[in-house]
Amino acid sequence: MQMTPIYWLALGIVLIIIEVMTPGLVSIFFGLAALTVAVVTWLAPALGQGWQWIGFSVFSVLYIFLLRKSLKKVFNGEREVSGSPSDEFSGKLAVVVEAVAPNKPGRVEFCGTNWTAEAETVFPAGATVRIRSRSNLTLKVEAV
């Protein structure tokens, strides 16, 4: 059976739907590759099935290497909010509840809530620190 653009389009859509329903951020890249091959096959209908599968494989690997890191941040909600005018955390003071050290996150209390904290220097419990930025539920802190 010859793979036509319609088959590649359907495969791409199915793989993207599977990505929406499952965790892992993998099948979306295969779905994007299938959509790309659908466009290529539509533009070059004489392209053999073997070349279509090779293209699908190459585009899959390319999309994984080029997009996975940035899309993972988007889907995980990671973003730096430092310096934004609406950031209610930057520049505020917090108290270290559990020691914070480089490569060893600790806990700080800010506005009555405990937060995971990361720092480039060591801060013992009880120290006052300044919040530099926030990434999701982790505060980046520095010396006052």
pLDDT in tens for each of the 144 residues of the chain? Answer: 677 899 999 999 999 999 888 877 788 899 999 999 999 999 998 889 999 999 999 999 999 888 887 777 666 655 554 445 446 788 899 999 999 999 899 999 998 889 999 999 999 999 999 999 888 889 999 998
- Position 31 scores a pLDDT of 94
- Position 85 scores a pLDDT of 42
- Position 99 scores a pLDDT of 94
15: number of Cβ within 10 Å:
20
Instruction: Please name the residue that has the structure tokens 């499952």.
Output: 22
Question: What is the C-alpha to C-alpha distance for residues 32 and 109, in angstroms, rounded to an integer?
Answer: 43
Question: What is the C-alpha to C-alpha distance for residues 3 and 9, in angstroms, rounded to an integer?
Answer: 10
Hey, what's the torsion of the CAs at 109, 114, 115, 119, to 10 degrees?
40
Residues 108 and 138 sit within 8 Å (Cβ to Cβ): no
Map out the domains of the chain with their CATH numbers: 5-76 (no CATH), 93-143 (2.40.50.140)
Residues 104 and 94 sit within 8 Å (Cβ to Cβ): no
